[in-house]
Amino acid sequence: MRSFVIGALRLVAASADEQVGWVWRNGVLTDEIALDLEHATAAAPGLVAAGVLGEAVLAGLREIDAVFGEMSGDPGRWSLEALARDEEWGRVRGLARELLDREGLGLAPLPEIHVIR
């Protein structure tokens, strides 16, 4: 589960080009990036309680998730083009990168997903 949280953060921290490639490769919509982060945020309290993640990671996840929440009312922010040009996408990328760096979690490869259709 820890690797899922780190993978979700890594995906948010990825460049716009990496995110677009990930969306295309996996045949999903851009909102999957935020949904993965939301699921990681929901899982994080248990990982903190188990001593697997620190409180700072949980706080950072919640901050990023809140920004995605603010974005959710505007469909234009979820286009592939928005990944490169929207200021809030740049903001969440910066927050995720800072969190990964600060916590020594590094920039692992983008997560693989398995979509069941």
20 contact partners, CB below 8 Å, separation of at least 6: 80, 83, 84
C-alpha angle 88-56-43 in degrees, rounded to nearest 5: 80
Which pTM was predicted? 0.88
Looking at residues 73-99, what average pLDDT do you find?
95
Looking at residues 65-79, what average pLDDT do you find?
95
Which pLDDT belongs to residue 60? 96
pLDDT-derived band at 3 (thresholds 50, 70, 90) equals: confident
pLDDT-derived band at 2 (thresholds 50, 70, 90) equals: confident
